[in-house]
Amino acid sequence: MKLRTVGITGIGAHVPEQILSNADLEQRHHVSDQWIRRRTGVVERRICTREQATSDLAVPAARQALAAAGLRPEEVQFIITATMTPDHLWPSAGSTIQGRLGAVNAGACDLNAACSGFVYALAVGTQLVRSGLYDNVLVIGADVISKFVDWTDPKTYLFGDGAGAVVLQPIADREEGLIDFMLGSDGSRGDILQLPAGGSRRPSSHETLDQGLHRPVMDGYDTFEFAATAVMDSIEKVLARTSYSIEDVDLIVPHQANQRLFRPVAKWLGISVDKFFVNIERYGNTVAASVPIGLYEAVHRKRLKKGDLVVLTAFGAGLTWAGAVLRWTYSPNDGHEILHP
């Protein structure tokens, strides 16, 4: 059986309307705007209301991606949602989104690889299409991390909420499309970035709530050190799986974890930091939504055009990291920005 070439044929993104700026945090918690900018690069982030959940962001992003690809919801055959903040522990966010979209002929599931989740889901979705099992696969990255963080902890000031989605379909061989992936994990170091309670190990209780165990725990120094290594490792290893070198790459779309990461990584790789697409100043770290929102904005800011060679890189809790190489095949029909409610 000949494997098919797979490309991204539609893309969408959605963020909440509510903005939480550094100035807002400065007034509430007496941490200066300049302090946050210097340490993270974040100026503002989008935050869900009390009533909003992950599917409320994912559904509009998915609808936009389907419209861009010229697909009706009933033509979607499978939905993979990368998230670590589903609406509920069960049913899955994927099934909730499938129902709300009216994708009546689609299977659906979630994939949790934290901030690496979208690239992981992209790898899985690509194989579903490449093998010939499905023709129309919807891949979503969405998270509402603001509901979990402790906003009195300065380490959490880099986070924001959002969603992004892409449609995967078979394309002509000569276009290349999604070329290769690398996926990594080191579970022995999972304790440096975790949510201690709420799972089967430590179910929710008065005790876990009183102890604040439903808030993320992050070792800032070890996480930053891991992140820098993971970005370099994923870029070098995924390119080594192809016939391309770093000099061939037109754009790198990284997980937007911290702006301070990109300059040392660029220096290590021997490239200009301008080759990295950065939008962390507007949205912060949106977890699994970070990479697809970056792709969406890169297209509509005209930083990414049809035919460009792109590298995606991400890392997150697990610990996990991931890389992808693709030839960009999607060309938008308009230049609209991210839609809000």
Tens of pLDDT along 195-220? 999 999 999 999 999 999 999 888 87
Question: What residues are annotated to the active site?
Answer: 115, 255, 285
Percent of the chain with pLDDT strictly greater than 70:
97
pLDDT at 150 over 70: yes
- Segment 111-120 mean pLDDT: 98
For residue 151, give the 3-state DSSP assignment: coil
pLDDT at 130 over 80: yes
- pLDDT, residue 30, reads 83
- Segment 216-241 mean pLDDT: 90
If we measure between CA atoms, which residue out of 23, 24, 49 comes closest to residue 34? 23
Q: How confident is the model at residue 253 (pLDDT cuts 50, 70, 90)?
A: very high
End-to-end CA distance of the chain: 45
pLDDT at 334 over 70: no
Q: What is d(CA 151, CA 140) in angstroms, rounded to the nearest whole number?
A: 26
- pLDDT, residue 256, reads 97
Supply the mean pLDDT for the chain.
94
Q: How far is CA 179 from CA 6, 38, 173, 230, 303, in A?
A: 8, 36, 11, 20, 20
- Segment 133-147 mean pLDDT: 98
Length of the chain: 341
- Segment 90-104 mean pLDDT: 98
pLDDT at 307 over 50: yes
pLDDT at 223 over 70: yes
Report all structural domains of the chain as residue ranges with CATH numbers, in order of start: 5-175 (3.40.47.10), 179-327 (3.40.47.10)
- pLDDT, residue 191, reads 92
**What residues have CB less than 8 Å from 146, skipping those under 6 apart?**
20, 47, 48, 159, 160, 161
If we measure between CA atoms, which residue out of 226, 200, 196 comes closest to residue 213? 196
Percent of the chain with pLDDT strictly greater than 90:
87
pLDDT at 242 over 60: yes
Highest mean pLDDT among 129-133, 155-159, 169-173: 129-133
Q: What is d(CA 267, CA 271) in angstroms, rounded to the nearest whole number?
A: 6
**H or E segment to which residue 111 belongs:** strand 107-111
- pLDDT, residue 333, reads 66
Q: What is the pLDDT of residues 33-90, one digit of tens each?
A: 999 999 999 999 999 999 999 999 999 999 999 999 999 999 999 999 999 999 999 9
- pLDDT, residue 175, reads 79
pLDDT at 339 over 50: no
The model scores a pTM over 0.85: yes
Q: How far is CA 192 from CA 40, 187, 217, 222, 225, in A?
A: 19, 10, 7, 7, 11
pLDDT at 274 over 80: yes
- Segment 269-280 mean pLDDT: 97
pLDDT at 294 over 80: yes
If we measure between CA atoms, which residue out of 104, 163, 86 comes closest to residue 341? 163
